[in-house]
Amino acid sequence: MQKGSVGIIGVGLIGGSIGLQALRSGRQVFLFEPFARNKVTNARFPGAQIVSTLADLVVASHLIFVATPVSAIPGVARELVNHVAPGHVVSDVASVKRPVAEILAEALLGRCQYVPTHPMAGSEQSGADAARADLFDDAVAFICPEFASEPGAVDLVTLFWEDLGARAVRSTVTEHDQLVAAMSHLPHVVAALLVNQVARSGGSRLAGPGYRDTTRIASGSPALWSEILVANSDLVLEQLTGFKDLLEEFLSLLSAKDVKKLQAFLDEAKRNRDI
């Protein structure tokens, strides 16, 4: 492995965007895509070295990102075990951290360094074709240091994300999962519910920009998102239940035509949104 080299397992929206921006900043980049149906080409990633086995990727890379869908991570973990060495720093980018980190930590601890991360960036699109070098500009990247025995490994991963343009924020995997259940997973579910309710009421053909913005993320990959939501289901259920309580409160204010209290509710929302 060469210092500063980065290997990416899973070249979708996130993995691909990491690759593009790492190439831009002059790093050696190795790409391995475990799913044959996803084509990764040098036309799309000029200068990257596209390898055909996970073993080839590991031997060449210093910092290794697991960027596959959540459901592929157990398989990747089992294979990583056979190839990693003490000098390696492994990270992952899954949107849910505790369940994923438990799998990877069990496989990797004692063999190499492991530092889970999660960039709060994305798009309603998915796949390598949607990857963009600027995807992480100013995005928050969570760094979870709790599994690393060498502080240098955490620093390496932190600096890497900052190099990509992100703002690194440290948290535990549990704190992370609580925060994203509210800030990311809940909005995703709500957008999907909204789209389906509007569709049942005659569709959105004539809708304005408010509807379009509010529901953009409902175009995200159903396969990826159903896995994420189930992986974080306890915390997402908590959020959805809190949301439902507020919905019931709002329903009763609207049934009573209580303009004053409705306005107070919307005022609170505006204040919270305008922060």
Please tell me the distance from the alpha carbon of residue 42 to that of residue 46, in angstroms, as a whole number.
5
Q: What is the CA radius of gyration of the chain?
A: 21
Is 216 a binding residue for a second copy by CB under 8 A? The answer is yes
Is 254 a binding residue for a second copy by CB under 8 A? The answer is yes
Query: Would you say 4 or 187 has its CB closer to a second copy?
Result: 187
Q: State which of positions 109-128 bind a second copy (CB under 8 A).
A: 120-122
Is 259 a binding residue for a second copy by CB under 8 A? The answer is yes
Q: State which of positions 73-112 bind a second copy (CB under 8 A).
A: none
With CA atoms as reference, report the closest residue to 7 among 160, 150, 152.
160
Query: Would you say 150 or 213 has its CB closer to a second copy?
Result: 213
Cβ burial 177-204 (10 Å sphere, 16+ → b, else e) = bbbbbeebbbebbbbbeebeeeeeeeee
Is 220 a binding residue for a second copy by CB under 8 A? The answer is yes
> Nearest approach, Cβ of 240 to a second copy (angstroms)?
6
Q: State which of positions 35-64 bind a second copy (CB under 8 A).
A: none
Cβ burial 231-266 (10 Å sphere, 16+ → b, else e) = bbeebbeebbeeeeeeeeeeeebeeeeeeeeeeebe
Specify the residue for token string 């890379």: 61
Query: Would you say 3 or 257 has its CB closer to a second copy?
Result: 257
Is 273 a binding residue for a second copy by CB under 8 A? The answer is yes
With CA atoms as reference, report the closest residue to 115 among 53, 69, 157.
157
Please tell me the distance from the alpha carbon of residue 263 to that of residue 268, in angstroms, as a whole number.
8
The site map against a second copy for 135-174 (x = CB under 8 A) is ----xx-x--------------------------x-----
The site map against a second copy for 169-208 (x = CB under 8 A) is x--------xx-xxxx-xxxxxxxxxxxxxxxxxxxxxxx
